[in-house]
């Protein structure tokens, strides 16, 4: 008998932790850090927000849970709304919205940069939240807002984790961040700051924390801080979810009858006879006597 010698199967590749660290993988969003290492340009669409990248840096962020840059600029008179609309219309010449606002004398470069950075970190907090669906990246051009102050991905992720930890230390339940809020009735109402009282005045059982932030023209994360502190003080609470109704049994279909066939006659249910009558319950009799005595007073 001749033995046949076969070649050994190749070993499975093992991921090097050192190489993965050099690539920058991991963190809040592995896809985002990988795109940063590749110096990619395009749009990362996640479940709760969008991140715009240029050469691997975040140049803008948007989220339905956070007020946009236009709301933050126009809510308190920093920028006239018509100036923002005019900049959007004229941004097609390649200079970008930001350059039009600065060149038109509506904002100084420092004021625009500061407001833009706060808006980016605010929206990125929600965009980088844990999600149940994977993100999608579309390669392409940068945001039409134009370059203002790009943010490194590592700095954005570090700030996002810091904000998560802060909210958790104030009130660990994140269910209050998206639920409609109602006023509670604490035993001893604490003293509120003016900022907290402004938020509390807009709690009506319909508005959520992002709704209140958008109405006030404030950053959504700062509003979450106020709401969680109000939760910890027992002043507000999330609106309870309605109980699900019990499923009803499906109605049984009646059997089909042939043409001219009379409907079925219901069969009478025989009534049992010879039942022994039980004596009345003494407790029930006592309760009835007490009821009659109370009604007679």
pLDDT tens-digit readout, 243-264: 665 666 556 555 665 555 666 6
Q: What is the pLDDT of residue 22?
A: 40
Check whether 143 has a pLDDT greater than 70: yes
Check whether 36 has a pLDDT greater than 80: yes
* Most confident residue range from 39-48, 90-99, 176-185, 236-245: 39-48
Q: What is the pLDDT of residue 110?
A: 92
Q: Is residue 275 part of a domain?
A: no
Check whether 218 has a pLDDT greater than 70: yes
Q: Which residue has the higher pLDDT, 178 or 5?
A: 178
Give the side-chain half-sphere CA count within 13 A for 101. Answer: 30
Nearest by Cα to 199 from 235, 154, 239:
235
Stated length of the chain: 297
The C-alpha atoms of residue 68 and residue 120 are separated, in whole angstroms, by 9
**Six-digit token string for 114:** 């500061």
In a shared domain, residues 112 and 79: yes
In a shared domain, residues 183 and 148: no
Check whether 5 has a pLDDT greater than 90: no
- Residue where a domain stops, chosen among 135, 170, 205: 170
Q: Mean pLDDT throughout 91-118?
A: 86
In a shared domain, residues 162 and 181: no
In a shared domain, residues 46 and 67: yes
Nearest by Cα to 53 from 143, 126, 124, 160:
143
What DSSP assignment string belongs to 221-287? HHHHHHHHHHHHTTSEEEPPPPPPPPPPPPPPPPPP--TTPPPPPPPPPPPP--PPPPPPPHHHHHH
The C-alpha atoms of residue 20 and residue 35 are separated, in whole angstroms, by 13
Rg of the chain over CA atoms, in angstroms? 33
Q: Is residue 116 part of a domain?
A: yes
DSSP SS3 for 64: coil
Q: What is the pLDDT of residue 26?
A: 44
- Residue where a domain stops, chosen among 125, 143, 170: 170
What DSSP assignment string belongs to 166-225? HHHHH-S-GGGTTS-EEE---SSPPP--HHHHHHHTT--SS--HHHHHHHHT--HHHHHH
Q: In the chain, pLDDT over 90 holds for what percent of residues?
A: 55
Q: In the chain, pLDDT over 70 holds for what percent of residues?
A: 73
Q: How confident is the model at residue 274 (pLDDT cuts 50, 70, 90)?
A: low
Q: Is residue 272 part of a domain?
A: no
What DSSP assignment string belongs to 75-109? TTTSS-HHHHHHHHHHGGGTT-HHHHHHHTTSS-H
In a shared domain, residues 47 and 122: yes
Least confident residue range of 194-198, 268-272, 291-295: 268-272
In a shared domain, residues 104 and 193: no
Domain extent, residue 218, equals 174-238
Q: Which residue has the higher pLDDT, 70 or 18?
A: 70
Q: What is the pLDDT of residue 261?
A: 61
């Amino acid at each position: 008998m001749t033995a046949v010698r076969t070649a050994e199967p190749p070993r499975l590749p093992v991921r090097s932790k050192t190489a993965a660290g050099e690539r920058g993988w991991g963190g809040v969003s592995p896809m985002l850090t990988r795109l940063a290492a590749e110096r990619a340009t395009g749009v990362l669409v996640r479940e709760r927000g969008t991140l715009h990248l240029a050469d691997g840096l975040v140049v803008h962020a948007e989220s339905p849970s956070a007020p946009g840059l236009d709301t933050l600029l126009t809510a308190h008179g920093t920028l006239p709304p018509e100036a923002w609309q005019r900049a959007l219309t004229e941004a097609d010449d390649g200079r970008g919205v930001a350059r039009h606002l600065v060149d038109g004398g509506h904002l100084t470069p420092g004021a625009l940069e500061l407001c833009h950075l706060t808006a980016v970190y605010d929206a990125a907090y929600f965009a980088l939240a844990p999600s149940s669906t994977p993100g999608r990246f579309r390669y392409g051009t940068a945001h039409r807002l134009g370059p203002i102050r790009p943010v490194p991905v590592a700095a954005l992720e570090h700030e996002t984790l810091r904000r998560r930890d802060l909210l958790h230390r104030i009130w660990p339940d994140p269910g209050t961040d998206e639920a409609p809020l109602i006023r509670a009735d604490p035993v001893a109402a604490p003293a509120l700051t003016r900022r907290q009282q402004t938020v509390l005045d807009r709690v009506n059982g319909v508005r959520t924390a992002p709704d209140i932030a958008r109405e006030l023209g404030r950053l959504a994360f700062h509003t979450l801080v106020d709401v969680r502190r109000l939760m910890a003080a027992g002043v507000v609470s999330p609106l309870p979810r309605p109980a699900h109704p019990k499923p009803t049994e499906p109605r049984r279909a009646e059997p089909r009858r042939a043409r001219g066939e009379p409907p079925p006659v219901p069969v009478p249910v025989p009534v049992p006879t010879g039942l022994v009558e039980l004596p009345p319950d003494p407790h029930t009799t006592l309760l009835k006597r007490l009821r009659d005595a109370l009604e007679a007073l």
